[in-house]
Amino acid sequence: MMKIVPPKPFFYKGGERAVLLLHSFTSNTIDMKKLGRYLQKNNYSCYAPLYSGHGLTAEESLTHRPPDWWQDVLNGYKLLKDKGFEKIAVIGLSLGGVFALKVGQELEINGVVTMSVPIHREATFLQKRVFHYAKGYKQLEGKNEEQINVEMKRLQNISIDSLVEFQQLIDITMDKLALLTSPIHYMVN
């Protein structure tokens, strides 16, 4: 079996303006690296936190919940503040976009960019996404179909409470959009 090296958060030093880059659900910081390098070349410093459990197996990922992921976002914002950045924008993709909106509602930032933000997601839809992610991850590990099928059956018995919390996070964040005071730009696929 192949050992997968888990992704890590990254910081790219650029100019005096900073961007907090937030990845999507079942994704990781690798998806934000190209954007981070582009922003760095254009004189922005960038930090991308890795949400707890992301980049790991689906089983490990489901042991973490939206409050854990939100804390990772808050820690990323604090890291940028601690490095002395006064002008911070946030860019988020899907779940990261939800968090970007939440950052804009609760913290002092200079701008928000969201991409493919879910307005509402049922926990069963999110569960299907986890199953798809899990199967792909197990294939990357080099497991055979029989082993994958056994593990996927076990995965179906794991609690989806964290996915229900994710669904609630989306709903609450969307209900509070009027609290946004920072400039916002929304991009659609």
Fold of the 10-187 domain:
Rossmann fold (3.40.50)
Query: What is the pLDDT averaged over residues 89-118?
Result: 95
Confidence of residue 186 (pLDDT cuts 50, 70, 90): low
The share of the chain scoring above pLDDT 90, in percent, equals 85
pLDDT, residue 112, reads 95
CB-facing half-sphere around the CA of 26: CA atoms within 13 A = 16
pLDDT at 4 exceeding the cut of 90: no
Query: What is the pLDDT averaged over residues 80-100?
Result: 97
CA angle 55, 69, 147 (to 5 degrees): 35
Query: What is the pLDDT averaged over residues 173-180?
Result: 91
Contact in structure between 183 and 114 (CB atoms under 8 Å) = no
Confidence of residue 184 (pLDDT cuts 50, 70, 90): confident
pLDDT, residue 173, reads 95
pTM, two decimal places = 0.93
14/110 Cα distance (integer angstroms): 17
Contact in structure between 90 and 49 (CB atoms under 8 Å) = no
pLDDT at 121 exceeding the cut of 60: yes
Confidence of residue 1 (pLDDT cuts 50, 70, 90): low
- Which residue in 70, 95, 75, 10 sits closest to 45, CA to CA? 10
For residue 3, give the 3-state DSSP assignment: coil
Confidence of residue 103 (pLDDT cuts 50, 70, 90): very high
Contact in structure between 33 and 10 (CB atoms under 8 Å) = yes
